[in-house]
Structure 1
Amino acid sequence: MELFIKYPHEVQNELLHHLTGKAKNTEIGKKYDFSSIKTYRDFAERLPVQNYEEVEPLIERARLGESNIFWPTPIKWFAKSSGTTNAKSKFIPVSPESLEDCHYAASKDLLCLYLNNNEESQLFTGKSLRLGGSKELYKENGTAYGDLSAILIDNMPFWATYSSTPNNEISLMSDFEKKMQAVVDFTIKENVTSIAGVPSWMLVLLNNVMETTQKRSLTEVWPDLEVYFHGGVSFEPYKEQYQKLIPCKNFKYYEIYNASEGFFAVQDQNYSNELLLMLDYGIFYEFIPMDAYESHEEKIIPLNEVELGKNYAVVITTNAGLWRYKIGDTIRFTSLDPYRIKVTGRTKHHINVFGEELIIENAEQALKKVSKLTDCEIVDYTAGPIFMEGNQKGAHEWIIEFKTPPDNLAHFQKTLDQTLQTLNSDYEAKRKNNTTLNLLKVNQAKRGLFYQWSKNHGKLGGQHKIPRLSNKRDYIEELLEINKHLE
């Protein structure tokens, strides 16, 4: 880690040469003549930037058992990812190299960073409660696919299995709701020192733990609990609920940034919300400035050209054969020495129908502030546009599920609107004197709405996420309809 922190560009360039050199005799390597690629410029000029739909035909061939298409090592594993903007499943290749040199290397690095920062830690005197996805592993044509967490658990080294709870049999159960209770029953008897999982689903599990044990806090169930390793979705909407469940000043929260495509960044400091970009996991990084994304002015830049504070779409080239692949996430650099980032959202998850460019980071900062001001707690939310009709102006429509609702929803609504204006000058300009946008509208969801939506779509547990912002009304309309019929 010290090496890539000191020599980030050299490490990334060496990695790019390693990847192209290793794959030069694959179908893709011959098509783009990897053997003659000498510089980053050669690489960038020769290979197109792609999304999943463009690489899907090659991935399908690999799933049917063909090898040496985009990576020389036979690929037997594919991480099934439903995505949040497309109901169609994605199958992301997971090579032996990406398992070892990326996903498992990251787990070890995360533990090393945490222990280095907390020398008094008693992490290994107990076990790590992990909450993975609920997908079974489906064997097919000599290849297997399933939720990434299921693949990781299935291939986990013995030392990691020994220090984790619950056992693999429970972790890999396919029925999420049955698994949830099985995890609770199994783990409340264990000495749990750390928890790991996606914040939204882990919160469901921990609330079940509290209900089953009838304790007042998690520290009464697990007195030695000291850290929560979380990732997958933003932690901001859930932070206060966790702090109530774990009322311990010394408790640590460590964020990770990973996906089916790879493990990208890790929190490397206590009490920080910045993530260290990991440059030696077999992933070569490029970035697209979001102010020109999918426009004629769009440009793709390497790591050494990024600037502080700008919003970028992430493009990756990996040791599982994804070449210049757009993962759909957006990030912002908070430090250039070393390279530290914050995840700001998704390229498709924003509202920009009226030129307001509202991103997830704006939404979550606003909700955090407004929750404090109005003394409420939010479980989940999504938002979309109200389109202009005739001489009617547009607006944003939100549906929010509260754990503790505000006393006055109209006041909450107005405060949220005002707070968004302070955080986003484009939104403020469109709202000024109701020029383009009217005051936003907030619908209060019935309890369990987002859980029901996830269940209807087979998205319980794992890396599945609630779509936060959308340029369309599909999610809002569907949620409002489900909400009508909830008791």
Structure 2
Amino acid sequence: MLSIKSALAIPFAKRIRKSVLKWANNPIETQEKVFQNLISEGAATVFGKDHDFVSINSYGDFVKRVPVRDYEDLRPYVERSVNGEEHILWKGKPLYFAKTSGTTSGSKYIPITKESMPTHVEAARNAILMYIAETGNSKFVDGKMIFLQGSPILEQKNGIQFGRLSGIVAHYVPKYLQKNRMPSWETNCIDDWETKVDAIVKETLPENMTVISGIPSWVQMYFEKIQQKTGKNVGDVFKNFNLFIFGGVNYEPYRAKFENLIGRKVDSIELYPASEGFFAFQDKQNERGMLLQLNSGIFYEFIKADEYFDNNPRRLTLKDVQLGVNYVMIVSTTAGLWAYNLGDTVEFTSFKPYRVIVSGRIKHFISAFGEHVIGKEVEQALQEATFDTNIRVTEFTVAPQINPKEGLPYHEWFIEFENEPENMAALANELDQSLQKQNSYYFDLIKGNVLQTLKITPVIPLGFQTYMKSIGKLGGQNKIPRLSNDRKIADALSELKLVK
């Protein structure tokens, strides 16, 4: 029998689904309204005056006046905001700066404003409500929910608060969920990740956990500690756990390992949140891709990834994109980001409505020999090679080996296995065949004897956690790049390889 709270969740979810479908079914018109509002609101800012917003009457005008920027290009404006100046990128001062550890720019400070903050909260809420509306499953709202996240402790400077995005969002948990939310505030404030996970395990073990959420690699660490402590599968410890919410990385490489740790399949919802905005969430259990958030104060542009490094790549709006093409996503937002390159690449999986998958990072690829292998390709190769086998992978990353001791150069895959394959060479061959099939440049390099087939270097148990700890990035929102164009990560992991 449903409780009052879970019973009320169903009509509320259906009402929200109706409002979501209203803008999702009118995508171009919705984006045009967002664009016009952004230009109107941005005209009085320092950035708007520098770029003559008052004379922007069309998207074409915007393209002429506002070049695509990454964080380094925007940094002078951001620093003025950080120093407390008003009306720089958006009206007034930001409410927050989300501090991120950029992979290419060191620490970044991403503004979050009075207008942009609610969109982060609403999108996360709507993802759950769309799931309830689709499945009719609302019982989980009566149980305990956990999100493995950064510390909610914020610093204050010049009237603005600074912290990790997940820590900022922790302050916006709706009242009706606060009794259900875990871990405790005190535990959430623990900085050391391993100490924090141990405390979370202790707190959650006696509870009726129904929803667990976080980046898969760090949830996996939590699950493993539960299994070690109890000797049971997570699904037996938490009998009513039936919804896993995740974001940050592709879940597929982890799926087999998770199902083994849980002991059964559970429903999952994929999210695409970032400090710069909440861009998409999975709106259907059996549809590939996530619903692009078109009504969240974010105007989207796209550049074909293979044209991005050209002198003057063409910028496209939503109406010009194609299915299955790898695009760099560019955003302008109510947080004051303008034609901002997130660094993410996406592919569209449907147009009715517009859904995307995150295919990788424009700066995370291997092209040491002109092959331009991307994250989606290595993840798909691993998925295909281990499908219908008992091979379970804990973590992996790939780097080029340009100067091997003997033979031709190759791609080196560092893989931490839960259970190793009986035939490592056969797995390497399967991976290589899949990559050749997906990437014609890689195929040509193998067939032309420029590269030899890839090699696998097994990593010791907990090797990736050891590496992340060594660079001070264990836990939180940190994740290991799938691909590197150099040997920095590879050389560190070579010290952690499994020797037999």
Question: Normalised by the shorter chain, which TM-score bucket?
Answer: over 0.9
Name the SS of the counterpart of 2:43 in structure 1: coil
Residue identity in the other structure for 1:93:
P
Out of 119, 127, 137, the position equivalent to 1:110 is 127
Residue identity in the other structure for 1:129:
I
**Residues 374 and 407 in structure 1, CA contact (< 8 A), matched pair in contact too:** no
Give 1:27's aligned residue: 46
**Residues 70 and 322 in structure 1, CA contact (< 8 A), matched pair in contact too:** yes
The superposition leaves residues 266-299 of structure 1 with CA deviations (integer Å, 9 ceiling, x where unpaired) of 1111133311111011111000001211113511
Alignment RMSD, CA only?
2.1
Give 2:255's aligned residue: 239
Give 1:412's aligned residue: 427
The answer to whether structure 1 residue 52 and structure 2 residue 71 are counterparts is yes
Residue identity in the other structure for 2:49:
K
Q: Which runs of 5+ in 1 are unaligned?
A: none
Give 1:445's aligned residue: 459
Give 2:436's aligned residue: 421
Residues 253 and 160 of structure 1: CA distance in aligned 2, closer, same or farther (over 3 Å): same
The answer to whether structure 1 residue 10 and structure 2 residue 29 are counterparts is yes
- Distance across 1 between alignment mates of 2:239 and 2:388: 32
Name the SS of the counterpart of 2:457 in structure 1: strand
- Distance across 1 between alignment mates of 2:335 and 2:243: 31
The answer to whether structure 1 residue 323 and structure 2 residue 341 are counterparts is no
Name the SS of the counterpart of 1:265 in structure 2: strand
Residue identity in the other structure for 1:238:
Y
Give 2:14's aligned residue: none
Residue identity in the other structure for 1:478:
A
Residue identity in the other structure for 1:477:
D
The superposition leaves residues 224-270 of structure 1 with CA deviations (integer Å, 9 ceiling, x where unpaired) of 11111111011011001111223335x21111111111111111111
Residues 338 and 229 of structure 1: CA distance in aligned 2, closer, same or farther (over 3 Å): same
Q: CA deviation at 1:68?
A: 0.9
Q: How does 1:162-181 map to 2 (within 5 A)?
A: 162-181=179-198
Q: CA deviation at 1:134?
A: 4.5
Residue identity in the other structure for 1:343:
V
The answer to whether structure 1 residue 82 and structure 2 residue 97 are counterparts is no
Give 1:347's aligned residue: 362
Give 2:240's aligned residue: 224
**Residues 95 and 319 in structure 1, CA contact (< 8 A), matched pair in contact too:** yes
Name the SS of the counterpart of 2:115 in structure 1: helix
Out of 271, 284, 308, the position equivalent to 1:269 is 284
Give 1:298's aligned residue: 313
Q: CA deviation at 1:448?
A: 1.3
- Distance across 2 between alignment mates of 1:253 and 1:5: 22
Residue identity in the other structure for 1:223:
K
Q: CA deviation at 1:32?
A: 1.5
- Distance across 1 between alignment mates of 2:137 and 2:391: 36
Give 2:90's aligned residue: 71
- Distance across 2 between alignment mates of 1:278 and 1:31: 29
Q: CA deviation at 1:388?
A: 5.7
The answer to whether structure 1 residue 283 and structure 2 residue 302 are counterparts is no
- Distance across 2 between alignment mates of 1:479 and 1:128: 35
Q: CA deviation at 1:37?
A: 1.7
TM-score, normalization by structure 1: 0.94
Name the SS of the counterpart of 2:116 in structure 1: helix
- Range with bigger deviation, 6-15 or 414-423: 414-423
Q: CA deviation at 1:135?
A: 7.4
Residues 192 and 73 of structure 1: CA distance in aligned 2, closer, same or farther (over 3 Å): farther
TM-score, normalization by structure 2: 0.92
Percent identical pairs in the alignment equals 38
- Range with bigger deviation, 190-199 or 295-304: 295-304
Residues 390 and 236 of structure 1: CA distance in aligned 2, closer, same or farther (over 3 Å): closer
Residues 239 and 438 of structure 1: CA distance in aligned 2, closer, same or farther (over 3 Å): same
- Distance across 2 between alignment mates of 1:25 and 1:301: 26
**Residues 13 and 40 in structure 1, CA contact (< 8 A), matched pair in contact too:** no
Give 2:109's aligned residue: 91
- Distance across 2 between alignment mates of 1:269 and 1:162: 28
- Distance across 2 between alignment mates of 1:209 and 1:144: 35
Name the SS of the counterpart of 1:470 in structure 2: coil
Residues 402 and 136 of structure 1: CA distance in aligned 2, closer, same or farther (over 3 Å): farther
